[in-house]
Each structure stands twice: as structure tokens, then as C-alpha cells.
Amino acid sequence: MLWSETKVKTTTVADTWTGRPTPPESCPEAADIVIIGGGIVGVSTAWFLARQGISVALCEKGFIAGEQSGRNWGWVRIQGRDPREVPMAIESLSIWRTLAEDIGEHVGFTEGGCLYTARNQKELASLEEWRDIARDFGLSTRLISGKDMTAQVGDAASQWVGGLFTSTDGRAEPHLAGPAIGRAAVRAGATLMTSCAVRGIETEGGRVSGVVTEHGTIRSSTVLCAAGAWSSRFCASLDIPLPQLQVRGTVVRTAPAESALQGNVFDQRIGIRRRQDGGFSIAHGTILDHSITPSTFRYAFKFLPALRQEIGSLRLSIGSDFLDDLKAPRTWALDRKSPFEEQRVLNPDPNPRVLAGIRKNLARTFPDLADVEFVEAWAGMVETSPDVVPIICDQPQLPGFFIATGFSGHGFGLGPGAGKAIAAMLTGNDVGIDLSAFKLSRFFDGSPIRPFSAI
Ligand SMILES: Cc1cc2nc3c(=O)[nH]c(=O)nc-3n(C[C@H](O)[C@H](O)[C@H](O)COP(=O)(O)OP(=O)(O)OC[C@H]3O[C@@H](n4cnc5c(N)ncnc54)[C@H](O)[C@@H]3O)c2cc1C
């Protein structure tokens, strides 16, 4: 089917942030901690900090959850993760479970289960490997087939020999969760400013002394860069090399529809999950678009292992992004407009070919949904680290500067748990989540770069 026949409007992600001030009339003069970026990682960290009575100011150049955190599939899963992330993912899931009650707002969280399907015994054997990891962490993950598969997906079950299933994994609504956590942070005492780009950092005696925003300077000795897809550019302006590349993911939302399918299902052809509004959020199982830029070459060596692993899914292209990136300034004067004000919200167009592929694969995989209306489509820029695991650490050569980025396509589910762990890192506390595997230095100290084999 052609893209034009899918008759779906493309939209930007709606701004559901109703906090204040937007934009700020002036910034606070000082804060204990300043957070750059109002995605799920930034707002969750702000919430955990503010609840401890710490004065925290968060600056977001666009709107809360306007980029990845409001555009993702909405999966909250432990299944299939790199073992380094599992403890944080377990903590995150437990926060998601009571989040709506704790903040007094809906986030659309449901424990509907997560199923990865296998079309043959070889695929099943590779899924089985993760079951062994699950056992080490005491998770309920199991291999299912037959009647158990049918209970999850109805008649569609007959096309698979089995699957890996974690009943306690779930989903939440991205357009609700980030803004809701942000408002909870404000109620707890945090200051959140939207349309407020951070241009750079001020230092005194070699350590952080403040951030310069487009609306003024905030004095602070502790700054967290949670800038998602912009982190590499921000850090480069401080002479901190941070290897990061981007891929574009295209997603559709359907109208409400009857189906036996109630949870999250990942098949090679399709990733699909039930939405709170009765429809589905759907993406192609294996297509990710990467537009080649100078950064692709800059970081090619570090990304080779990930590239080798994902080569079948990547659709490489070269276009205007290459020249834009080439022309983009690496440093700028802090009293002038910065690149972060030039592009308030990364809002890539959905890929029409991918949309057509989603329509075709949906009909083949879930025939009962073949004619469901596609109501809207959008795309998001997924930022990724070389080993597809986050970067969460301090920056020893710039005391007071911390980084939390590189969530590599699965940071929405991790967000609240990461926020708790990052808040502890910033305040020197211990909440039992070991962050030592997430240091930026692992990409520069000769450690082997090994992306975990994503299932
Ligand atoms: C299509 C797609 C599907 C995905 N599916 C899933 C999924 O099902 N489950 C899952 O767990 N994860 C998923 N992810 C990944 C997940 O969305 C991200 O890992 C997560 O949202 C990252 O959150 P963040 O806060 O680090 O970054 P972001 O949400 O990108 O937020 C960073 C924010 O920083 C702001 N910013 C940047 N620079 C500045 C500056 N200088 N000053 C002020 N503000 C600045 C940006 O405007 C942005 O709002 C998906 C992502 C995409 C795009």
C-alpha cells in the first residue's frame, strides 16, 4: 500500500505541559542543582531532588517531554535488557507501579505484560538466553507457547512457535507521564522553566559556578546535563567528547479497536502495544533511519560493534542533515542565541515508507487489525550510545558537572528509576543502584565496547 493510501495525518507531539512559567520572566538567581533538559530523565531527577527539600531549577529549551520522552512507544519493560540496566529497571518498575498515586495524576501505567515472539526454533533458542538472565535477577520471565500464547494475542498465536513473556512488564502513556512528573516536581518545590535554553556553563577556579540561559544566569555548583539528543553537542562545547548518534523512529497511533491483543508484542515485523484510549501505538519491528552526518564518521569506530549488530535494521541515507551538522558551530558566545534556541523541538517527519510497511506488517501479523484506522503518525530522534546503554556519571575534569544521557531507545521505562539513582548521585547518597557501569570513560579507557545483543 502506498503512503498516500494510509490516510494518516502527521502531527507534532502535543504540548501537554500546563506548568508555569512558560517562558520564564526571569530565572532564579541561584539553585542547589540545575538540570538541563525536561525529558523524563530530567523531570524524574527534579522530582526526587525536590522531595528532599533540595532547591532545583530545570531548564527546558522547548516544552516538557517534547522530544523523545513524549514520542516513544510507551513500553515499560525489564525483559530483554542489558544486565547492567536490570537493577535500575527493576527499581523503575516499582516506582511506575505507585507513581499515579504518589503524584496524584494519571500516567497511563498498566502491567499488561511484554511478549517477544519467535517464528522458528532458532529464534526461540536466542530468546531462551535472556530467560537465564531473568532467573539470575529473580524475574518471572518465561517461555510460552500454545494456549498461553493464544491468551496473549488470540488467533495470531498460530504464526509463532513460542515467545518470551514477562507478565509484570507494562506500558505508560508518554504524552502524560513526563508532564505529570514535571508538575509533581513543581509541587514539591522545583522550578521548571520551558522555552528556556541553557547556552553554556560558567566556571570559577576550574569548577562549575553557574549556567547561562537565554533568560539569565543561575548560580549553582552542580549541573546535570540530561539533554537527550543534544547532549553530545552541549558537552562538545565544554570540550567533553561524548559519542552519540541518532536514529529516527516512526510511530503510528490507531483508533480504538477490538482485539485479543492487550499487552506489548514485539515481532521482527512489528512492535505494538495497547493504548489507554483503546487504540494501539505501532512501529515497524526492524527499521531505523540513520541520516549520515559528520558525527557518524567522528564516532564510527566506537559505534562499529553496534552497527554490525543492527546493520539489518538500519536504513542509511545522506541529505541536508550532513551539511547542517557540518555548518553547526562547535562553540558560541553565551550572550548570543545558541543552537538550542534555533531548534526548540526536534520534530522529524515520519518516514512514509516505514508507515506503509507498518500497515502491511500489521495486516500480516494481526489480521483482525488490518483495517484499523491510523489516526496520527509522528517520529522521534532516538539518541544512542556506542554500547546502547546510558551514560550516567560525574565529569572529573569539570567538577560539579554531571551527565545523564544515552538512554538508547529504552529510557522511558527506565526514567523514574534513573531519576532516583541520579538524584542520589548528585547528592552523594546511596539508594542501592550501582552506577559504576555507566561512566562515560568506558568509551575512552580501552574497555571493549560490547552492545548487549538486543533480542
Ligand atoms: C520512536 C521512539 C520510541 C521509543 N520507545 C521507547 C519505549 O517503548 N520504551 C522506552 O523505555 N523508551 C523508548 N524510547 C526511548 C525513550 O523515549 C528515551 O530513552 C527517553 O525518553 C530519554 O529521555 P531523556 O529525558 O534522556 O531525553 P529527552 O526526552 O530527549 O529530553 C531531553 C530534553 O532536553 C532538552 N534540551 C536539550 N538541550 C537543551 C538545552 N541546551 N537547554 C535546555 N533544554 C535542552 C530537549 O529539548 C529535550 O526536551 C523511544 C524513543 C523514541 C524516539
Residues 6+ apart with CB under 8 A from 271: 73, 75, 264, 265, 282, 283, 284, 285
Residue-level length of the chain: 455
pLDDT digits (tens, 9 = 90+) for 364-401: 999 999 999 999 999 999 999 999 999 999 999 999 99
Helix (H) or strand (E) holding 46: helix 40-50
Residue 320: exposure state from Cβ atoms within 10 A (0-12, 13-18, ≥19): exposed
Phi-psi region of 345 (alpha: psi -120 to 50; beta: other; left: phi over 0): beta
**Residue 455, pLDDT score:** 47
Residues 6+ apart with CB under 8 A from 193: 21, 22, 23, 24, 27, 57, 58, 59, 60, 213, 215
**Residue 22, pLDDT score:** 57
Residue whose CA is at the smallest distance from ligand 1 atom 45: 37
**Residue 330, pLDDT score:** 87
DSSP 352-396: HHHHHHHHHHHHHH-GGGTT--EEEEEEEEEEE-TTSS-EEEE-T
- Helix (H) and strand (E) counts in the chain: 13, 22
- Specify the residue for cell string 534555533: 342
| Residue of 27, 67, 199, 337 with the most ligand 1 atoms within 8 Å of its CB, for mutation | 67
The residues with which 116 forms a beta bridge, in sequence order, are 164, 266
Which atom of ligand 1 approaches the CA of 62 most closely?
47
Of 58, 52, 54, 71, which Cα lies nearest the Cα of 345?
71
DSSP character at residue 281: E
- The whole-angstrom separation of Cα 356 and Cα 343 is 29
What is the reported pTM? Answer: 0.95
Per-residue pLDDT of the chain (455 residues; tens, 9 = 90+): 333 344 555 555 666 656 655 566 678 999 999 999 999 999 999 999 999 999 999 999 999 999 999 999 999 999 999 999 999 999 999 999 999 999 999 999 999 999 999 999 999 999 999 999 999 999 999 999 999 999 999 999 999 999 999 999 999 999 999 999 999 999 999 999 999 999 999 999 999 999 999 999 999 999 999 999 999 999 999 999 999 999 999 999 999 999 999 899 999 899 999 999 999 999 998 877 888 888 888 998 899 998 888 887 888 888 888 888 888 888 999 999 999 999 999 999 999 999 999 999 999 999 999 999 999 999 999 999 999 999 999 999 999 999 999 999 999 999 999 999 999 999 999 999 999 999 999 999 999 999 986 54
414 CA to centre of own chain: 8
**For residue 193, what is its C-alpha cell?**
522553566
- The whole-angstrom separation of Cα 117 and Cα 136 is 22
Residue 353: φ, ψ to 5°: -65, -40
**Residue 431, pLDDT score:** 92
**For residue 2, what is its C-alpha cell?**
502506498
The two beta strands, 245-254 and 207-213, are: unpaired
Residue 37: φ, ψ to 5°: 115, 125
Residue whose CA is at the smallest distance from ligand 1 atom 3: 72
Q: pLDDT > 90: what percent of the chain?
A: 82
**Residue 2, pLDDT score:** 36
| Residue of 35, 280, 378, 412 with the most ligand 1 atoms within 8 Å of its CB, for mutation | 412
Helix (H) or strand (E) holding 74: none
**Residue 83, pLDDT score:** 96
Judge whether 314 and 288 are in contact, CB under 8 Å: yes
Residue 73 identity (one-letter amino acid): W
- The whole-angstrom separation of Cα 65 and Cα 81 is 23
- The whole-angstrom separation of Cα 185 and Cα 177 is 12
- The whole-angstrom separation of Cα 178 and Cα 307 is 30
Strand order in the sheet with 216-219: 198-204, 207-213, 216-219
Residues with CB under 6 A from ligand 1: 36-42, 59-62, 66-69, 71-75, 197-198, 226-230, 234, 249, 251, 340, 380, 382, 405, 407, 409-413
Residue whose CA is at the smallest distance from ligand 1 atom 25: 39
| Residue of 69, 85, 234, 332 with the most ligand 1 atoms within 8 Å of its CB, for mutation | 69
